[in-house]
Structure 1
């Protein structure tokens, strides 16, 4: 079995380095996407919490609603 020529090895190493670079870039992009999504989730959780607090402070817990309040204004 012969040793592969130096040029062939260098070419294969270069191809692997290119693939590795693309994989690294993709991983960075995916990490940034996950980071932004987590920030958005955190903001949404905060908004839901604030809405719940507003409903509780206004006395609307969802159970004690007057059906007349649900009618459209034209009735």
Structure 2
């Protein structure tokens, strides 16, 4: 098993964050994942994934604030 890469978007301009996150997701092989590190709950991002990639991703909170949120986002094999 390989270790998931980490994408820390806290230093990015907010308008650029989703573009970088979706680019990272699209580059994943099926079954792979990355760890998103953010400075707020990325719940709106989850809803965007649901709208655009329903059934094709996994979402697992690893840390839920109050200052840092870490979410494992994966590309499913099915």
Per chain length, whose mean CA-contact separation is higher, i.e. which structure has more relative contact order (CA < 8 Å, sep 6+)? 2
Larger Rg: 1
**TM-score, normalisation: structure 1:** 0.24
TM (norm. structure 2) is 0.23
More helix by proportion, 1 or 2? 1
